[in-house]
Chains A and B, each alone.
Chain A
Amino acid sequence: MLSVKRLISTLRLIASYAVANTQAVMEYRAAFIVQVLTMTANDSLWLFFWWTYFHQFPLTNGWQITDIVILWAVSACGFGISAAVFGNARQLSSLVMNGGLDAYLSMPRYSLLHVCIAATDPTAWGDILFAVGAYLFLVHPNAIHIVFFMVLVIMTSFIFTAFMVILCSLAFFLGNTEGLAQQMFGALISFSTYPMDIFHGAVRLLLFTVMPAGFISFIPLQLLRHFTWPLFGAMVGATVLMVLIAVGMFELGLRRYESGNLLGMQA
């Protein structure tokens, strides 16, 4: 089933959608620029806070300002790519609720992928811009570092997307979970922008399992500081696992959807 031709066709589809969607949001040039700039400004504001924090309280374990910058850069860039390429993933729960999923089901492509790539979030570019800018100018990385950064960021974006899909797939079973999904996703983003050292014990365990914030920013940071194969393997493993869980949950929910027996749904 999985042939190279299929893969290329899929990649081309993703690219076409990305182009079309970005063009659509760039129609409103002024608004687009404002959105990008405000997101960049927002991220910079947080970084500013961290700078003042470190100014007063340098943290132990060798944490420096560059570490925080990398933490933020990976997280923001991963999120940005996720929201730019798979920007429609967050709509999945409302599509399930109002039956809009049908339109995707009646078309030849894999419905989950299709749903995710159908729209983009323009503010995501602000995050990407900030991430790349901060990373390049504040960290002064070398070429290998940059390549590695890109690889990690792509994996992070998959984790973000997978997490969103899992949350939205709850709509298949629990009905209107949009509020919950939003909060949980917000929590994930929050957790991923703080140094892991401040968390201990049970919470830390949580952050490497149910809420994979650890894999989004902390592990990549460790890998960028000091690469080890086992750690990289763990990163890859976590990414693949998240994606598999997301697909699994979606498929499970889809079975239910196709039976038409969704909670409160009228045919």
Chain B
Amino acid sequence: MDAVGVRSERRVMQRWRLALLKYAAVLRVSVENNLAYMMEVFFRALLLVVLVFILSQLWKTTFALHKEKILSGFSINTMIWYLIAAESIALSLPALTKRIDQEVRSGQLAYLLGRPCSYILYNFAHYLGERLVRWSMNCLVGAGLATLMVGWPPFTWQGLLAWPLVSLLAMSIDFVAYFCIGLFAFWFEETQAFSFVFSRLTLVLGGVLAPLEIFPQPFRSIALALPFGAILYGPARTLVHFEVDRFYQLLLQQILMLVIGGVILLVIYRVALRRVNINGG
């Protein structure tokens, strides 16, 4: 009995390990693929330069006009770095919804389900590969730009350590959202519109133009409560203005969003699968 128990446990461990390897492989291939398109990734990063430049001009002017050095706790230096951080995440978004939409519509989904691979996890690995490459390039280019413009970053080592973690969580939240929207292809003709709305809401309410402090109450509280803030504002602020309790708050918010989003995702996924099983994709 004992030996069997041990063996079955080992089998479970073995299975987990194999599964992890499987998705790690997908991730690796995705990263390699995207690294091959280095030029395109670089051009995207240039857009970051343009946008941050514009915003920096706006804020520089604002700061100068109002003769303030600090705006809601942000100096011009930290403001620029904040913008870079937020845009780095925002502009690294791949066209996930479009991909899922196409796979659903073309019937490829039904075909992919036949593979011994979780459709969700497979896509997550694929998405993450692309997103990480873009995000890294954005961070690099952005950092260069910011150093040129306002000099050395105001980071603390805690902020630097926390940055990848909260960014990863933010990207995961994004994944859950856009994947769900992609699955809407089962019921709606057009999913691009929804993903577009979500991305815009993320940008404006997530604080890519300015930290959420700019919003007057009651908008500020609303914005802080919504998931969009956890995707852009939270991580960017953590990097630039690390505060321990805010960090824990953010982690909690992100994990909560992930859990809720994950549940919604699974429910929609289940329903969608049933549709596939009945209609054959």
A residues near B, CB below 8 A? 28, 30-31, 34-35, 38-39, 41-42, 45-46, 48-49, 52-53, 55-57, 59-60, 123, 179-180, 183, 186-187, 190-191, 194, 197-200, 203
What B residues does A60 contact at CB under 8 A? 65
Given contacts A28-B189, A35-B190, A183-B46, contact A49 B196 (CB under 8 A): no
Across the A-B interface, give the 3 residue pairs with the lowest CB-CB distance, nearest first. A31-B190, A198-B57, A179-B40
Interface locus among B136-144, B146-154, B211-219, B267-275: B211-219
Q: How far is the CA of A49 from the CA of B223 in the complex (A)?
A: 12
Q: Is B44 an interface residue (CB 8 A)?
A: yes
A187 to B188: give the CA distance in the assembly, Å: 31
Selected contact of A187 from candidates B39, B47, B58, B214, CB within 8 Å: B47
- Shortest Cβ gap from B266 to chain A (Å): 26
B204 and A49 form a contact (CB under 8 A): yes
**Contact of A198 with B189 in the complex, beta carbons under 8 Å:** no
Indicate whether A186 sits within 8 Å of B54 (C-beta atoms), given known contacts A34-B190, A57-B62.
Answer: no
With contacts A42-B197, A42-B200, A52-B215 taken as known, whether A57 is within 8 angstroms of B66 at the C-beta atoms is yes
Q: How far is the CB of A87 from chain B (nearest CB, A)?
A: 15
Question: What residues on A are CB-neighbors of B60 within 8 Å?
Answer: 198
Q: Which residues of A contact B192 (CB under 8 A)?
A: 35
B25-47 to A contact mask, C-beta < 8 Å, 1/0: 00000000000000110011011
Knowing A31-B193, A194-B58, the reply to whether A180 touches B43 (Cβ < 8 A) is yes
CA distance A39 to B216 in the complex (A): 25
- CB contact under 8 A between A186 and B189, given known A59-B65, A191-B54, A194-B58: no
Distance in Å from the Cβ of A220 to the closest Cβ of chain B? 19
Partner of B197, one of A28, A41, A187: A41
Question: Quick one: closest B residue to A176, CB to CB?
Answer: B40
Nearest residue, chain B, Cβ from A42: B200
Contact B216 A55 (CB under 8 A): yes
List of A residues within 8 angstroms of B188 by Cβ: 30-31
* B65 and A57 contacting across the interface, CB-CB below 8 Å: yes
Determine whether B51 belongs to the interface, using a CB cutoff of 8 Å to chain A. yes
- By beta carbon, the residue of chain A nearest B45 is A183
CB-based nearest A residue for B39: A179
What are 20 of the A-B contact pairs (CB < 8 Å)? Answer: A28-B189, A30-B188, A31-B188, A34-B190, A34-B193, A38-B197, A42-B197, A46-B204, A49-B204, A57-B62, A59-B61, A123-B196, A190-B51, A190-B54, A191-B50, A191-B54, A198-B58, A199-B57, A203-B53, A203-B57
A197→B209 contact, CB < 8 A: no
Q: Report the separation of the CA atoms of residues A225 and B44 in the bound assembly, to the nearest whole angstrom.
A: 36
Q: Which residue of A lies closest to B47 (CB)?
A: A183
User: Which residues of chain B are within 8 angstroms of A49 by Cβ–Cβ distance?
Assistant: 204, 209
Decide yes or no whether B120 CB sits under 8 A from chain A.
Answer: no
Contact A198 B61 (CB under 8 A): yes
- Cα A187 to Cα B51 in complex, Å, equals 7
Q: In whole Å, how far is B67's beta carbon from the nearest beta carbon of chain A?
A: 12
Interface residues of B in 54-89 (CB under 8 A from A): 54, 57-58, 60-62, 65-66
0 or 1 for each of B225-251: is its CB under 8 Å from A? (1 = yes)? 000000000000000000000000000
Min CB gap B87→A, angstroms: 12
Asked if B201 lies at the interface with its beta carbon under 8 angstroms from chain A, I say yes
Known interface pairs A38-B197, A179-B40, A199-B57. Does A56 touch B216 (Cβ–Cβ under 8 Å)? yes
CA distance A180 to B47 in the complex (A): 10
> Using Cβ atoms and an 8 Å threshold, which residues of chain A touch B194?
34, 38
Proximity bits, B171-205, A CB within 8 Å = 1, else 0: 00000000000000000111011101100110010
Task: Tell me which residues across on chain A come within 8 A of B40, comparing CB atoms.
Answer: 179
- CB <8 Å contact, B44 and A31: no
